[in-house]
Amino acid sequence: MKQIFPKLMLWYLLLFLPILFLKATPDIFPAKKVLPKSPGIYFILAPSGLNLRATSSPGSQKLLTIPYGAKVELVASAASSDMMVDNFPGGMAKVKYGRQEGYVFDGYISRFPAPEQQQDVKKYVEKIRDNRQGVMYEHCTRDHDGYYQDEEAITMYITDWAEAFLVARQLFEMPQAILFPKPSDLEVETFPNPNKEEEVWEDMITVRRNKKGELTSIKYFYRREGGGRSVFMVSDPQFEAITISLTLISD
């Protein structure tokens, strides 16, 4: 027991401490509130695709389903953003897909291209830059007394937490059953994966907010025998950006 306890403590310390190669950001600085999406080119980030409807009514005729990763042109912003789908806020925006025009829920569209399944992070960064979106990439590895740690991070120049969460969930393979957190006045909340497997020790997200109820960080934590990983999202008010980092640790 005397040998096991220090190793467990070291493992949790490595995953829960903020990654060292990034600039620390105080929790009191949240990202700005979500603004209506302006006309331009966007990508579909809904994993099962996004319904294109005939009018701005969510229950109007379904014209077709736009597949995940497809490119659309946003023609007119949503008149209001009082809808919520899978906890993502948004409204019905008018878009053009090929020759077809209609309305989609804009909470599932992004100016950042959709990550491919198990995509290399550095290649995804190149894809972002090919679409003329700003991004910063960092990578480092460490050996902590036999615990191998690999860290990758991207800083995206956005202030929309929902958009950052969508990219992080796809790029770093967070469980789809873990939803974006609803608005709350609680400063700290933890949400377990409802589909957690029996052999998995930890599978959850921890959400932090400031006293105004605004998000300051979201952290996904996964642990099982042999290793684990964490995905950490934190805002940077100085650059109006959100940094998403992945930390992998193997025993």
Q: Pseudo-torsion of CA 48, 69, 119, 39, nearest 10°? A: -130
Q: How far is CA 113 from CA 49, 70, 98, 128, 152, in A?
A: 14, 9, 17, 6, 19
Extents of the domains making up the chain: 4-30+119-250, 40-110
| pLDDT per residue as tens, the chain (251 positions) | 444 434 444 444 444 444 333 433 333 333 344 567 899 999 999 999 999 999 999 999 999 999 999 999 999 999 988 899 999 999 999 999 999 999 999 999 999 999 998 889 999 999 999 998 999 999 998 776 667 788 999 999 998 999 999 999 999 989 999 999 999 999 999 999 999 999 999 999 999 999 999 999 999 999 998 889 999 999 988 888 999 999 998 87
Specify the DSSP element, H or E, that contains 123: helix 121-130
Structural tokens at position 247 = 């930390």
Say if strands 88-90 and 83-85 run parallel, antiparallel, or are unpaired. antiparallel
Structural tokens at position 143 = 């050996």
Name the CATH superfamily for 40-110: SH3 Domains (2.30.30.40)
